[in-house]
Amino acid sequence: MNTRRDFLYTIILGSGAVFLAPLPGCGPARTADEVPPVTKIADPIRPRVGTPQFRVAHEFLRDGKSLPEPSTTVRRDVVVIGGGLSGLTAALVLQTNGVDSVLLESETRLGGSAVSEKINTASVPLGSVYFVSRTEEIEMLIKATSIEPVQCPDDAYILRDGRIVQDLWSDSSLKGAIPDERDRDGMKRFRDVIAVMDADLPSYPLPKTLSPRMQELDAQSAANYIDRFASPTLEKIINAYSRSSMGAPSTRTNAYCLLNFYQSELGSSFGFSRYSFPGGTSRLATGVAAALENTKSAALVARVHETADDVQIDVVEADGTVTRYLSSFAVVAVPKYQLSRLLSDPGSHRLEALKKISYAPYATIQISSSIAIASGKAYDTWDLRVENSYTDVIDPMCIQPGATAHVVSLYVPLDPSQRSMLQDPEAFASFAAKTVEKFAAGLTEEQRLSIIDVHCWGWGHGIVVPTPKSHNGPAQTASVATARLRFAGTDSDCAPAIENATEQGARAARDIIAQLQQRSGR
């Protein structure tokens, strides 16, 4: 999610007042011949449309527009390309070790997916929202920024009958929430399998070669792995989780990533925690960015050419001119789907590997209201009543003590066929309005009437998808280092997690530092 195809809209939900039809099962009972009742939820909302950031990138990287000749040349020992958390981590490691370096980012702000927006006086995350492991690299970032994370409350689940259950995976919760014994038993067996996984748990960063058992889990779909437990509710939960956290339905993601990711979802009753920051993970990203001495935003890297002597990096500036950076090494921390156009010589093996890596579009929808429309007890609530729409609802206010604003975020994974919709403001606004309709149908009338406005954030290539067989060859080959280039980002593992991003960035930087020290004889 590092280099974004992004938009920010406040949507008009129709002319005049907005009317919504309740979801089946959420409104009054009616016969098949009756017209669905409608409910007024809000007065007209004036639209506000931000400037898309994809135009220049599309011109040079997608459409192959010729680059102007460089008007300026800048020399650095190392250039970091991409200002998401992976690039930020690499830049911080380099700076801490005294390396002359600069970080370049095509967007107007650093952070990649770890960005937030000020909505109704509150800082609301637009992309990544939490992490589950306080790794060495994340602890390094926390120390550098002096920003302490907070532990998030356990997830909640809205069941098909509308009941809300927190700490779902405990025996007592499962007994009360899942009446069918076979369904419940399947969920327990799945829980018990992953809860005790230790050395057997798939891990990241990926090794160069997977063991035979890990190859099996990589080749197997998440859905196929779940089938053995014969639990319809489990299948629904895992499919929603796979769409939201892994970018695609469980039939198109691998069991390797599912097992690694989902163990921490069992919650605090099983010793698993998750962390964020008041205002989202952007607090960490902006803190790291502020600690860096040399960064440049609104600087699109359009060409990376490696020679025997240096790396030549051509950058399109905001005014359309081109600056050429010359460096001994570079950390490439942009999404790898760009590499076929970005690198002057990506190599045939890398190109073949890139064809096997998938990225999914994604949208988040922020709903601002004058009264609370979330319970305030759960950071992440999974709505099992909806199909092929939003999957979960983030309540960023529940970890912001003293906050007076009321904002929730719908997380809406998209199919690749919907990517072009994000480039059309009207189509995106219409899609968002329909999504909000589905969500608002489950609210009380008072809550529906309290909705003030709606913001949307679209990510055209938002999330790398851990597809079956992506972990045993494609991820490693797409990320293989060259003499002067090191590659970072979550897609180095084909698994979208902050922990992966930061570790890959740190690894790339440390490898370059070792090379520089070797050259200097230190």
pLDDT digits (tens, 9 = 90+) for 495-518: 999 999 999 999 999 999 999 999
- Give the confidence band of 275 by pLDDT, cuts at 50, 70, 90: very high
Q: List Cβ neighbours of 141 (8 Å cut-off, separation of 6 or more).
A: 85, 88, 89, 92, 284, 287, 288, 502
Residue 51 pLDDT exceeds 70: no
**Tokens of residue 429, six digits:** 């606004």
Helix axes 255-262, 232-246, angle to 10 degrees: 90
Q: Count the alpha carbons within 13 Å of 402 in the hemisphere toward its beta carbon.
A: 1
Contacts of 343 (CB under 8 A, 6+ apart): 304, 305, 306, 350, 485
- Mean pLDDT (the chain, rounded): 89
> Taking 60 as the threshold, does the pLDDT of residue 4 lie above it?
no
Residue 138 has pLDDT above 70, yes or no: yes
Which parts of 108-266 are beta strand (E)?
116-119, 122-125, 150-151, 156-158, 164-166
Q: Is 348 exposed, middle or buried (0-12, 13-18, 19+ CB in 10 A)?
A: exposed
Can you point out the beta strands (E) in 466-502? 485-487
pLDDT of residue 252: 99
Residue linked to tokens 């064809």: 355
Dist CA 518 CA 511 (whole Å) = 11
Whether pLDDT at 397 is above 70: yes
| Single-letter amino acid code for the residue at 456 | C
Q: Considering only CA atoms, give the Rg of the chain.
A: 23
Cα gap 343→482, rounded to integer Å: 12
- Mean pLDDT value across residues 365-392: 95
Question: Is residue 267 predicted with pLDDT exceeding 80?
Answer: yes
**Structure confidence at residue 62 as a pLDDT band (50, 70, 90):** confident
- What is the crossing angle of helices 181-195 and 232-246, to 10°? 50
Work out the average pLDDT over 447-465.
91
Sign, CA dihedral 221-224-229-232, equals: positive
Q: How far apart are the first and last CA of the chain?
A: 37
CA–CA separation, 127 and 365 (whole Å): 10
Q: Is the pLDDT of residue 20 over 90?
A: no
User: 49 has which bridge partners?
Assistant: 9
| pLDDT of residue 152 exceeding 90 | yes
Residue 198: pLDDT band with limits 50, 70, 90 = confident
Q: What is the pLDDT of residue 520?
A: 78
Say how far residue 427 (Cα) sits from the centre of its chain: 22
Q: Which amino acid is at 141?
A: L
pTM: 0.90
Residues 385 and 23: their CA atoms lie apart, in Å, by 9
Closest CA to 84 of 3, 149, 7: 3
Transcribe 380-396 into DSSP letters. Answer: EEEETT-SSS--EEE-G
121: phi > 0 → left, psi -120 to 50 → alpha, else beta; which?
A: left
Query: What domains lie within the chain, and their CATH numbers?
Result: 8-51+358-465 (3.90.660), 55-132+140-148+279-356+467-520 (3.50.50.60), 167-266 (1.10.405)
Q: Residues 352-372: pLDDT tens digits?
A: 999 999 999 999 999 999 999
> Given this model, what pLDDT does residue 21 score?
31
Buried b (16+ CB within 10 A) or exposed e, 351-365: eebbeebbbbbbbbb
**Out of 17-21, 101-105, 250-254, 340-344, least confident range:** 17-21
pLDDT at residue 64, as a whole number = 78
| pLDDT confidence tier of residue 54, bands split at 50, 70 and 90 | low
* Residue, of 68 and 411, whose pLDDT is higher: 411
What is the CB neighbour count within 10 angstroms for residue 143? 9
Locate 10 and state its tokens. Answer: 């406040």
For residues 285 and 107, is the Cβ–Cβ distance under 8 A? Answer: no
Asked if the model's pLDDT at residue 308 lies above 70, the reply is yes
> In this predicted structure, what is the pLDDT of residue 31?
34
Alpha helices in 384-493 (DSSP H): 425-440, 445-449, 474-478
- Nearest residue to 274 (alpha-carbon basis) of 384, 173, 149: 149
Dist. CA 221–CA 226, nearest whole Å: 9
- pLDDT confidence of 53, banded at 50, 70, 90? low
Residues in contact with 474: Cβ distance below 8 Å, sequence separation at least 6, in sequence order: 353, 354, 356, 357, 494
